[in-house]
């Protein structure tokens, strides 16, 4: 019921932009979902519905829209929040992971030592497309000495097969298209 309500909000409110950020890409914009207080609450509730039963101690959000989800989810469940950042945004010693995007390459970074070793971390992002970003983020979480308790996304683009790159993880999406 919670997931179904959130899915309805996502499909009703998201915007779609063809050829952004490059030709051939169909960009799904979830910011209208986040701007609507009822929809945003439904999305956070759906993403976090099993976080506490999975003994999660922190929610890791992938830059940038994942930060919004992770912060709200961490607040709603009373756990910590961890930022998985784009390259060059974190000071000090960081772990880095390069990965392929559907339209190029990128790099993510994460501080290690912010949580005790073995901490269970729920990884969240707005979108699962080809799976490269979330696979890189999961790798960073594990290399930092934590356990990926699950991966939660608002929207999964089924045709791009991103779930296939996340085999072995508990991946759940609220809405699919």
Selected catalytic residue, list 65, 85, 120, 165: 65
Name the residue among 36, 86, 48 with its Cα closest to residue 64.
Answer: 86
Locate 176 and state its tokens: 């699919």
Selected catalytic residue, list 3, 41, 102, 114: 102
Cβ burial, residue 104 (10 Å; 0-12/13-18/19+): exposed
Q: Is 109 a catalytic site residue?
A: no
Q: Is 65 a catalytic site residue?
A: yes
Cβ burial, residue 126 (10 Å; 0-12/13-18/19+): buried
Any idea what DSSP says for residue 164?
G
| Residues known to be catalytic | 65, 102
């Amino acid at each position: 019921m919670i997931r179904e309500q959130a899915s309805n909000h996502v499909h009703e409110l998201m915007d779609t932009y063809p050829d952004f950020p490059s030709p051939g890409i169909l960009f799904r914009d979830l910011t209208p979902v986040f701007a609507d207080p009822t929809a945003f609450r439904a999305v956070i509730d759906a993403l976090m519905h099993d976080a506490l039963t999975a003994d999660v101690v922190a929610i890791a959000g992938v830059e940038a829209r994942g930060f919004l989800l992770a912060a709200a989810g961490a607040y709603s469940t009373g756990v910590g929040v961890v930022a998985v950042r784009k390259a060059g945004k974190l000071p000090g010693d960081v772990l880095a992971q390069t990965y392929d995007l559907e339209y190029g390459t990128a790099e993510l970074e994460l501080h290690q030592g912010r949580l005790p070793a073995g901490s269970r971390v729920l990884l969240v992002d707005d979108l699962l497309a080809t799976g490269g970003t979330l696979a890189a983020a999961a790798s960073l979480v594990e290399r930092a000495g934590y356990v990926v308790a699950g991966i939660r996304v608002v929207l999964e683009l089924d045709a791009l097969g991103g779930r296939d790159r996340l085999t072995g993880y508990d991946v759940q999406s609220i809405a699919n298209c």
